[in-house]
Amino acid sequence: MMQIFKRSVCLGFVLSMLLQGVLAQKPAAAQSEMPSRLRGEIERFAQDTGAFDRLWRSDLSSARMARLSELYADELAVLAKMNFESLNHDEQVDYILFKNHLEHEQHQMSQLKAQFAEMEPLIPFARTITDLEDARRRLEFADAAKSAAQLNDLAKQIADTQKAFESASATKPKRTVAYRAARSVAALRDTLKRWYAFYNGYDPNFTWWCESPYKVADAELEKYQKFITTKLVGIAPDDKTTIIGDPIGREALIEELKFEMIPYTPEELVEIANKEFDWCIAEFKKASREMGYGDDYMKAIEAVKKTYVEPGKQPELIRDFAREAIDYVKKNDLVTVPRVAEESWRMEMMTPERQLVAPFFLGGETILVSYPTDTMTHEQKMMSMRGNNPHFARAVTHHELIPGHHLQGFMTSRYKPYRRMFGTPFWMEGWALYWEFLLWDRGFDKTPEDKIGALFWRSHRAARIIFSLNFHLGKWTPEQCVDLLVSKVGHERENALAEVRRSFAGDYGPLYQMAYMMGGLQFYALHHDLVDSKKMTDRDFHDAILKNGPIPVEMVRATLTDAKLTRDHKPSWRYYDLGRK
């Protein structure tokens, strides 16, 4: 019945596209304020995927893989039946975004399957565990005696797998694959625990049969995870500091760049980053000379680091920086700052544990301030204070709050919120960094110390591109990435370790770190084309970006310029001149 209903909805939706083609003739400015006829389909898809993610919590579930693959194919079929030309410009943007998202989800599923196949020799028992939980999710309840036998066999298979890899003749897996497998074993252990907890104690017969074999299987999983971690990866089971990472390779990088609508190769992006880095070094030296250190900008950075405030004073410093930035953008009519947005941001302190991966600030509606606590070692305290000195913190504050992430989040929750599904760090992080570019050009950073602080972050973002792409291309180790941040940017070593750890821990996509500067350069180029040319005011330009949602910047450009679009849109905007003949 549900399938019939869904087909009927889709058919009606397609017919509405055909019947309302006249709307496509409205001006682009008016269209952007009209409700999109694709919004309902996009929102339904988001709800469907959310439902399946809650139903199947394990990424390794074969049922999850199959059902999501079916959903992606169904939605692409719906799009294929639409009359693209009958859509107005804003709806065509939605069409391209949705199609791009679905195709990327299909690719990600293929990547997940390939990664599973790569580590399957290490976890041949994975399907046994996920199938038990999948059956429970389908409300196919367990047979107690049969389950006991399955658990008994599972424990033996885990033990046998460990013995096989303990053998001197065993082929050792790549360290990155072993690291991925260790994390998968931990997740599988949680999956088995959820399955067992559903029955245990509620079904006396199940508990009688399964309590003992479950405990044995769980113990074998715990033992095997420790074995993989210590012997195959080479770190302690509780190690939270060693950086392993999982390079994805050039082909996967190119696929991710295609999804983000970036028409450059990884090598070209490294070239751009090096050019930007060289610009930063030249500006560093100018500021250094103003401070009396000649061209030795590292001495100037060191002097700036020593300006840290005493413990307990950082929150009021950040409050003052936030107010300064808000007053500046309002006074200069650069962007609309709604009263509620200005009133509603909050401040909290970053925990010592979280500072291991986020040594600086994090933001949004709540800005999380990094500064040392009394539980840290002396070295950790000094590195935290030096790395969060006032001149470094000044640029971070407006990046995280207004006009940065807090204003972004405020506006995207109120304008075209359905487009948040297409969210990209090139828009989110790129926008926040773009303001650093713009404020620099406008003379916001007046003193040489403030310039050093702004340049520290700008060079940091260029370095992120260099180290993250070289890492994923298989050219650099995590240690080389850390060395770049310390020797060329001026990071404290602990802070550099935390930055690289955060980059490769698996919580962020492979392009996330490069998205800051590349997205910023995209917005910067677009500002040059539309504002410097007097086609738009600063305020109109910035408000339009915020009201059109967190989408690839190429699609922002298409919207603001009313560019002609096709259903098979290919990225083509070369926003950075490499200066080649």
Reported as a single tens digit per residue, the pLDDT across 196-252 is: 999 999 999 999 999 999 999 999 999 999 999 999 999 998 887 788 888 999 999
Q: Which of 187, 205, 233 is the last residue of a domain?
A: 233
Asked if residue 486 and residue 451 are part of one domain, the reply reads yes
pLDDT of residue 536: 98
How far is residue 5 CA from its own chain's centroid?
Answer: 35
3-state secondary structure of 272: helix
Residue 490 near residue 301, CB atoms below 8 Å? yes
User: How far apart, in Å, do the first and last CA atoms of the chain sit?
Assistant: 62
pLDDT score recorded for residue 444 = 97
Q: Are residues 319 and 356 in the same domain?
A: yes
Provide the residue range defining the domain that includes 206. 126-233
Q: Any bridge partners for residue 369, and if so which?
A: 349
Establish if 374 belongs to a structural domain: yes
The verdict on residue 366 lying in a domain is yes
What is the residue-level pLDDT of the chain in tens, covering all 581 positions?
334 334 444 444 443 443 344 344 444 444 556 789 999 999 999 999 999 999 999 999 999 999 999 999 999 999 999 999 999 999 999 999 999 999 999 999 999 999 999 999 999 999 999 999 999 999 999 999 999 999 999 999 999 999 999 998 999 999 999 999 999 999 999 999 999 999 999 999 999 999 999 999 999 999 999 999 999 999 998 887 788 888 999 999 999 999 999 999 999 999 999 999 999 999 999 999 999 999 999 999 999 999 999 998 999 999 999 999 999 999 999 999 999 999 999 999 888 888 877 777 788 999 999 888 888 889 888 988 898 999 999 988 999 999 999 999 999 999 999 999 999 999 999 999 999 999 999 999 999 999 999 999 999 999 999 999 999 999 999 999 999 999 988 888 888 898 898 888 777 889 999 999 999 999 999 999 999 999 999 999 999 999 999 999 999 999 999 999 999 999 999 999 998 64
**Do the Cβ atoms of 76 and 7 come closer than 8 Å?**
no
Tokens 């070369």 sit on residue: 574
pLDDT at 242: 85
Instruction: Provide the CA 553 distance to its chain's centre, in angstroms.
Output: 16
pLDDT of residue 390: 94
Mean pLDDT of the chain: 92
- Looking at the fold, whether 274 and 196 belong to one and the same domain comes out as no
Overall number of domains in the chain: 3
- On whether residue 571 sits in a domain, the answer given is no
Is 263 part of a structural domain of the chain?
A: yes
Neighbours of 447 (CB within 10 A): 12
Asked, for residue 567, whether it belongs to a domain, the answer is no
Domain assignment of residue 458, yes or no: yes
Token code pair at residue 387: 């790395």
Same domain, 132 and 114: no
User: Do both 390 and 535 map to the same domain?
Assistant: yes
Any domain includes 387:
yes
Query: Same domain, yes or no, for 115 and 197?
Result: no
Please report which helix (H) or strand (E) contains residue 366, including its range: strand 366-369
Peptide bond into 550 cis (omega under 30): no
Does one domain contain both 144 and 168?
yes
Is residue 211 domain-shared with residue 269, that is, in the same domain? no
Q: Does 81 fall in a domain? A: yes
- The answer on 356 and 218 residing in a single domain is no
Please answer whether residues 32 and 90 qualify as being in contact, where contact means their C-beta atoms are separated by less than 8 angstroms: yes
Which segments of 473-561 does DSSP mark as H helices, in order? Answer: 478-484, 493-504, 512-530, 538-547, 553-561
389-402 burial, b at 16+ Cβ within 10 Å, e below that, comes to bbbbbbbbbbbbbb
Given 233, 265, 285, the domain boundary residue is 233
* Phi, psi for 470 (deg, rounded to 5): -65, -35
Looking at residue 363, what is its pLDDT? Answer: 84
How distant, in Å, are the alpha carbons of 180, 188, 228, 244, 318 from that of 175? Answer: 9, 20, 10, 8, 42
**C-alpha to C-alpha distance for 378 and 357, rounded to whole angstroms:** 18
- Residues of the chain with pLDDT > 90, as a percent, come to 81
Where does a domain end: 119, 142, 172?
119
Determine the Cα–Cα distance for residues 355 and 64; give it in Å rounded to an integer. Answer: 35
| Contact present, 559 and 432 (Cβ < 8 Å) | no
Check whether residue 353 and residue 227 sit in a common domain: no
Answer yes or no: do 354 and 463 share one domain.
yes
Residues 322 and 381 in one domain: yes
- What tokens appear for 551 in the block? 């989408």
403 upstream amide cis, omega within 30 of 0: yes
